[in-house]
Structure 1
Amino acid sequence: MQSTGIAGPLSSGKLRIAAPLAVIGLLTSGCFGDSDSQGGAEPGRLAENVSLDDAKFTVGSKEFTEQLILCEITAIALQSVGADIERQCGLAGSDTTRTALTSGNIDMYWEYTGTAWISYLQHTEPVDGPDEQHRAVAEEDEADNDIVWLDYAPFNNTYAIAAADGIIEEYGVTTLSDYADLANSDPAAASLCVNSEFSVRNDGLPGVQESYGFEMASNNLATLEEGSIYNAIGKSDPCNFGMVATTDGRIQGLGLTVLEDDNGFFPVYNPAVTVRKPVIDEHPELAEVLNPIAAALSTEAMQQLNSEVDIDGERVEDVAREWLRSHGFVGD
């Protein structure tokens, strides 16, 4: 299944116990091959002050839609400033992709701050705040593993609870505190769809209930496969509310509203390009090319890009190229 996925437990392994490492060569049906097979990119404003004509990089990613889009955005952007790019987009899972980076099989890929902090650096609790989490993971990963973190994007691919717009209007629920009040006063109206992992994780339902002061009875709780939850809450059947990933394109495509996490319970998972230190030491211009791209990737922008692929059926490379063009990063 090619799903937008959340930045970890649902599709890419965030905060989960590390699975046995797959062979690096075990790849999914992502975009693999050299730059010639993918086509070049005309120079745009990224090329105004940067040239990487003498450089060659291997760009990788995990296998879910969001990561494939980020991989293609990175590859096209670097091609636009003259770099020769080999793509390894769509590696099979977080562990494989991280190992590809640390072993030198790829030079860079987008990773999520919370994923690296807990899954790779083996901390048990996230750091509060996006700036603080990024700073902590960047300092430790460079010192211990020679991995450099570029600027993080503002979008946060984490857990959330959402409902169809009509349900939001009917019950006047816009925050998780509102939802907790509804769950305590009208449990049937607050019926909730989750997947099996979310139902037992500390950063899932048990933690949400403790943080917001409610408890779902089993008869108002349905356990579904991740991909089924979006359609279920879009139709309000069998649940009015459900667990989602905040950048999933189906949020826009199905007319869902994400409840505000007003207690700040869910951990932060901002993505940033991670680069092997020898690579960026040789080509510090990489930051000048990729940091402006990160700054432009809001949650709404990433939802839209994911939706164009997963809902509208557009090709990843077309979606990535058009987004870069629309911001003037590359030329027509």
Structure 2
Amino acid sequence: MKLRTRSALKAASLAAAGLMLAGCGLSSGSSVPLAVEPGIIQPVPELEGQTITVGSKNFTEQLVLGYLGEFALSAAGADVRDLSSIQGSSTARKALTSDQIDVLFDYTGTSWISYNGNNDPIPDARAQFEAVRKQDLERNGVAWTAVDYQVDNTYAFAVNQDAAKRLGVQNLSDIQRIVTERPQDATFCVDTEFASRNDGLPGVEQTYGFKTNPDNVKVLTEGAIYQATADGTCTFGEVFTTDGRIEALNLKVLADDKQFFPRYNVGVTLRDEMLKRYPQLTQVFQPISERLTNEELMKLNAQVDVQGRDPADVARDWMAEQGLIKIPGQS
């Protein structure tokens, strides 16, 4: 299904706007798409009337997370600007560090590998976060808050059920055998970033001891990979572990038995001076962190990608169900 017109048009226009970040910059975005009232998240006097711009990257989960942040800030009394669907992780991070957005939900593994150039992930989630928090603050002036250890949206490879049975694959270590013994089945679908990132395909190849045939690697958009894997267009498809399409398409996720992929716990990133000016922001975002799990986020993502709902509607409904906000006109 297609997303509703509001979401589709907004995503297209803001994706184009995101490209401007590398050049002349962009405006502060549009208004929050839906109204909310305070619930568990109550008005914060220090934030009353303060303009705060929330950004997100241009994939489903990021859109949902961005709207969760926007509605939380709205309930707290801030004047929120919406700058969602920025194209690419590095572009979104640049928007944050260059003062074009103030809040970005991000992932500890992305910061550790992509933004800060480390090669070796830290398997323990809390140790990984502490290393990211310290390095990002010292190097980039970026502060992390409201980190959610219950959400780990790391990379994985998935196969359809037929391939799992036919090839006998359970773990990423099994890929080496397929590449060697059944090269015709060693086909991969990945997106552009994963094809070149240290924490993507090159790192998987090095860690698990195989080399892909470039002719057997298809670079697709992130959304197209899931269906291509389900259809057998490729044997191994790059997926995110919180994506609702994994369950909807009955895909099997291969175990990362050598623990290559970093932890991708979700947290709120802000410029350090912003968090120091408004330390109350932690109490605004913390209730989201306390309630959001991998299972919950997978369900929210599925409502967008499988059911075709608007990410803003999905985010607001979940926050209302959790009691974090109230929807005007509903008791």
TM-score normalised by the shorter chain: which range applies?
A: 0.7 to 0.9
| Bigger mean CA offset, 188-197 vs 93-102 | 188-197
Q: TM-score when scaled to structure 1?
A: 0.78
CA RMSD after TM alignment: 3.3
2:48 is matched with which residue? 54
2:35 is matched with which residue? 40
2:25 is matched with which residue? 24
Deviation at 1:187, TM superposition (A): 5.0
1:223 is matched with which residue? 218
Unaligned 5+ residue runs, structure 2? Answer: 4-14
Residues 230 and 284 (structure 1 numbering): CA distance in 2 closer, same or farther, change over 3 Å? Answer: same
| Alpha-carbon contact 1:252-1:304 (below 8 Å) kept | no
Deviation at 1:217, TM superposition (A): 6.0
| Percent identity over paired residues | 38
Q: Distance in 2 between matches of 1:210 and 1:119?
A: 17
Matched residue type, 1:173: V
Deviation at 1:286, TM superposition (A): 1.4
Q: TM-score when scaled to structure 2?
A: 0.78
Deviation at 1:266, TM superposition (A): 1.5
Matches within 5 A, 1:77-156: 77-153=72-148, 154-156=150-152
Residues 258 and 51 (structure 1 numbering): CA distance in 2 closer, same or farther, change over 3 Å? Answer: farther
Q: How many residues align?
A: 308
Residues 121 and 241 (structure 1 numbering): CA distance in 2 closer, same or farther, change over 3 Å? Answer: closer
2:158 is matched with which residue? 162
SS at match of 1:155: strand
Matches within 5 A, 1:244-263: 244-263=239-258
Residues 295 and 101 (structure 1 numbering): CA distance in 2 closer, same or farther, change over 3 Å? Answer: same
Q: Distance in 1 between matches of 2:57 and 2:218?
A: 26
SS at match of 1:234: helix
Matched, 1:208 2:204: yes
Matched residue type, 1:25: L
Q: Distance in 1 between matches of 2:269 and 2:228?
A: 36
| Alpha-carbon contact 1:26-1:91 (below 8 Å) kept | no
1:13-53 Cα shifts (integer Å, max 9, x gaps): xxxxxx992432189xxxx4234xx2321222222x96556
Q: Distance in 1 between matches of 2:21 and 2:90?
A: 8
| Alpha-carbon contact 2:106-2:267 (below 8 Å) kept | yes
| Alpha-carbon contact 1:187-1:216 (below 8 Å) kept | no
Segments ≥4 residues shifted beyond 6 Å: none
SS at match of 1:264: coil
Deviation at 1:65, TM superposition (A): 2.4
Q: Distance in 2 between matches of 1:71 and 1:218?
A: 36
| Alpha-carbon contact 2:26-2:100 (below 8 Å) kept | no
1:56-107 Cα shifts (integer Å, max 9, x gaps): 2222222332222111110111212322222222334334432332233322
Unaligned 5+ residue runs, structure 1? Answer: 3-11, 13-18
Residues 316 and 114 (structure 1 numbering): CA distance in 2 closer, same or farther, change over 3 Å? Answer: same
1:117-156 Cα shifts (integer Å, max 9, x gaps): 3433344444443222211121222234432101323333
| Alpha-carbon contact 2:21-2:95 (below 8 Å) kept | no
Richer in helix (by share): 2
